[in-house]
Amino acid sequence: MRIYVYGASNPEVVKLISEVIELQLVGFVDDNPTDATFLGYDVRLPHSLGGAQNVVNTVCSSTYARRDVWDKIQGMGHTPTSLIHPSVSHRMAEVGQGAYLQENVMIQAGCVLGENVSIHMGSLIGHETCIDNHVFVAHGVNVCGRVNINEGAYVGAGATILPGVTIGAWATVGAGSVVTKDVPAGATVKGSPAK
Active site residue ranges: 127
Measured distance CA(5)–CA(119) in Å, rounded? 16
Sort residue 173 into left (φ over 0), alpha (ψ -120 to 50) or beta: beta
Distance CA 182, CA 29 (A): 37
Cβ neighbours, 10 Å, residue 34: 9
| CB-based contact 167:173 (threshold 8 Å) | yes
Alpha-carbon distance of 41 to 177, in angstroms, equals 38
Peptide bond into 184 cis (omega under 30): no
CA distances from 3 to 31, 84, 188 (A): 17, 13, 35
